[in-house]
Homo-oligomer: A and B are copies of this chain.
Amino acid sequence: MARHAVDVGSYTENITRQLAAYSSGLKFQNLPGEIVLVAKQCVLDGLGVMLAGSREPLAKKVMSFVREEGGSPKSTVVGYGDRTSPSQAALVNGTAAHALDYDDVLRPLHGHPTVTVLPVVLALGEKLGVGGKGMITAFVAGVEIDARVGAMMGDKHYEKGWHATGTVGTLGAAAAAARLMNLNANQTAHCLGIAATQAAGLKCMFGTECKPLHAGKAAMNGVIAAELAARGFTSRTDVLECRQGFADTQTDSFQPHEALEELGDVFHTLDVKFKYHASCFGTHAMLEALATIKKNPAFGLEKLERIEVRVPPFALDVCNIQAPKTGHEAKFSYRHSAALTILGEETSSLESYSDDAARRSDIAEMREKVFVSSAKNLDRYASDVFVYLNNKTVITEHGDMGPPVEDFGTQGEKLEHKFRALARPLIGHCNTNQVIDAVWSFECQSGIGTALSGLKIA
């Protein structure tokens, strides 16, 4: 029965208990400053995509259901101003945050960290009146558990058909909830068990409204797990590694040591990647390269003949729709994104990926100049771009979203720009500034109230 690299039946180290001890023991004063900074960047970015996502029809349907169910008004639903029960607020906010697929990503998770963790931190943080430091700490706990459980599951979990944002994300959400509620290590281990046995999300749902729902459900289930664990509800305390447990049922590439490697020394939160363009993350390296090319003095729109884009082979199956007909398809089209950049359109804007934009004739004409092919030597998040001009000049740039960010200050500026673009049309200039200020000074805040009060759409 040794279908795993490490047979779960013979693996004796208790991963669940070690991760629970780690996450329940995290303290704000022990977090490196860069981690606090990136966590706040995740929060600002998460609030922006959540606010914008709350306007999507799918989020409105979930909100309509939640309103009908009712609930004690303890936690705010972003974009609506309603307060409802924590589990329901987490459901709506998580779904809204992933609705645009414009939220951050984390490679070891094989998915999106903030959309399941932030809604839990908001909902329970507000209910319990936890201050900024406590909320940041809980957020980091959630993202770190996401990363370590995701790495432990290996590539096969995602490849087999599991949407890791939904499945693994439930464990991150639960860890954040447990930390926020001050559960001890033993309670947190039970909490992870209660979470793992609720974890779900099928990759076949990509392209349907269920994909964002996975994030909302993961957040909701994380709240349920912690609330039950706090009441002494029992589970196993070895669910990640036990026979017929989470890894045993849902991956063929169980990598137990990945879960524990350099535990306490390395923070994966630093590796969160943000999206600055409202399109598939796969298109981002090309967009960065094209933006640099446009700044080259040799470039001129009137001289443009053709654009060649080389991408890693897997990406041809993901985001290479040749002639997108809808806004959603446009998000998954190298040609559309390249055309936008060349034409000077704002790729960070949702409007650039609307149904109307997909049909615009100038964009369609420009798409005809873009040729995409694959190159095996390219890393997962990299692209090579060659711009051919009619004066026998070629300008080339290599874009790569993979390497760790070195300048977190610039990252913060870009995220603030993105947040303004998303938020200002919905909540206005003053509220936008209020939220930004509140998040950048989050560790000095007594809670999330100031930020949330600015996120109400009139």
Contacts and interface: CB of A to CB of B under 8 A. Distances in A.
A243 B204 contact: yes
A65 B209 CA distance: 29
Indicate the member of A64, A197, A214, A248 with the most B CB atoms within 10 Å.
A197
Contact of A85 (B71, B86, B199): B71
B204 A242 contact: yes
Interface string A276-303: 0000000000000000000000000000
Contacts of A210: 193-194, 197, 233-236
Contacts of A376: none
B193 A205 contact: yes
Interface in A199-229: 199-205, 208-210, 213-214, 217, 224, 227-228
A70 interface: yes
A181 interface: no
Contacts of A233: 58, 61-62, 209-210, 213
A349 B69 CA distance: 37
A262 interface: no
Contact of A239 (B162, B166, B196, B204): B204
Given A87-B69, A213-B194, A228-B62, A236 B249 contact: no
A232 interface: yes
B200 A200 contact: yes
B197 A214 contact: yes
A214 B198 CA distance: 8
A224 B160 contact: no
A360 interface: no
Nearest to A230: B65
A428 interface: no
A245 B208 CA distance: 13
A244 B193 contact: no
Contacts of A203: 244
A273 B208 CA distance: 38
Indicate the member of A85, A210, A217 with the most B CB atoms within 10 Å.
A210
Contacts of A246: 202
Contact of A245 (B85, B86, B88, B204): B204
B202 A200 contact: no
Interface string A144-188: 000000000000000011110010000000000000000000000
Given A160-B244, A205-B235, A213-B233, 20 more contacts: A62-B228, A65-B224, A65-B228, A68-B72, A68-B227, A69-B85, A69-B86, A69-B88, A161-B244, A166-B197, A197-B201, A197-B210, A197-B213, A198-B217, A202-B239, A204-B236, A204-B239, A208-B234, A209-B233, A210-B234
20 contacts: A58-B234, A61-B233, A62-B228, A64-B231, A65-B224, A65-B227, A69-B85, A69-B86, A71-B71, A160-B249, A161-B245, A194-B210, A197-B201, A197-B210, A200-B200, A202-B239, A202-B244, A205-B239, A208-B235, A213-B228
Interface of A: 58, 61-62, 64-65, 68-72, 85-88, 160-163, 166, 193-194, 196-205, 208-210, 213-214, 217, 224, 227-228, 231-236, 239, 242-246, 248-249
**Ranked 9 nearest A-B pairs via Cβ:** A161-B244, A70-B72, A69-B85, A61-B231, A204-B244, A161-B249, A200-B200, A197-B202, A204-B245
